[in-house]
Chain A
């Protein structure tokens, strides 16, 4: 069996609320569903969320800061997700702030976790301050999440610049909450418009799907389930593993005829 070095992926965006945590949860869960050993780390100290999105909030005993400060062993802080063997969460601390951890400490922690996991997924906080620096410190690959909006794309561009400056060789883009009908109408940038502007490889297009809200309510990532976002996240996971999966077309390039009939419908 090939022994690959574990991959450490930071999920980041710059802007808040574009779907970093949802993406982390789904990508992590998706990898675990395919039999990988995955550790999800919530690096948003003071504003922890990944635990609730994963539905593991009631099982937290120790957290990231406890591990860093030596109050417990790493294995004591890791929460095992009973639904998926091989999936673990290292929750963040809710009552501390970003300065409780340094990038050097993160690197050390990740080196330790690499011994046991195939994939380490870091859910990065919004912003470009210390929390961001902590999250990217130990990573060798980045997923940049954006939505097709001016503000989110601008921040994503800044983040990509910072990641490149930090020496990241592999930066992939996830476009979240794409609304096909708006793109068709010409009122939302398409995935290719966004890729045009940001000029990094695209690894996923996630349609705006109400099932994401439902899944978050239930604390159960929807990757791989039979819905548009579930399929799109499953495809991201396969592409992460190096498979060449064609992109789902939510925006369909439309023929002149459908355009004409479409207009007549609305006029």
Chain B
């Protein structure tokens, strides 16, 4: 019965764990960019944006992905994604 409960609601299935781990692993593999460096980039971007608006630095998400994008004929180019939640657009009058 416990197994049934776990099966329905419980732990993440192991295929999902594998997939999630790979996604993170391959990001750094593909761009040859270490997680430490990503953290530095994240901190710097946060600093710059903070000059102009109030952001939620805790929940910032920075990723490098390779996606086929428009204008590259399906060729995969690395893209830097930054998801930065804004808390207040008008931090101060500039």
Contacts and interface: CB of A to CB of B under 8 A. Distances in A.
A190 B13 CA distance: 12
A266 B22 contact: no
Q: Is the interface of B mostly helix, strand, loop or mixed?
A: helix
Interface residues on B, range: 20 to 34
The SS class assigned to the A binding surface is helix
Contact of B19 (A185, A193, A264, A267): A193
Contact of A150 (B1, B7, B16, B18): B18
Interface in B1-59: 1, 3-4, 7-8, 13-16, 18-19, 21-23, 25-26, 29-30
B76 interface: yes
A33 B25 CA distance: 41
A18 interface: no
Interface in A128-174: 149-150, 153-154, 157-158, 161, 164
A164 B18 contact: no
Nearest to B68: A199
Contact of A154 (B1, B8, B14, B22): B22
A101 interface: no
Given A150-B18, A189-B19, 7 more contacts: A150-B21, A154-B25, A158-B29, A183-B15, A188-B15, A197-B22, A199-B66
8 contacts: A153-B22, A164-B76, A186-B14, A187-B13, A193-B19, A196-B19, A199-B68, A267-B7
Interface of A: 149-150, 153-154, 157-158, 161, 164, 183, 185-190, 193, 196-197, 199, 263-264, 266-267
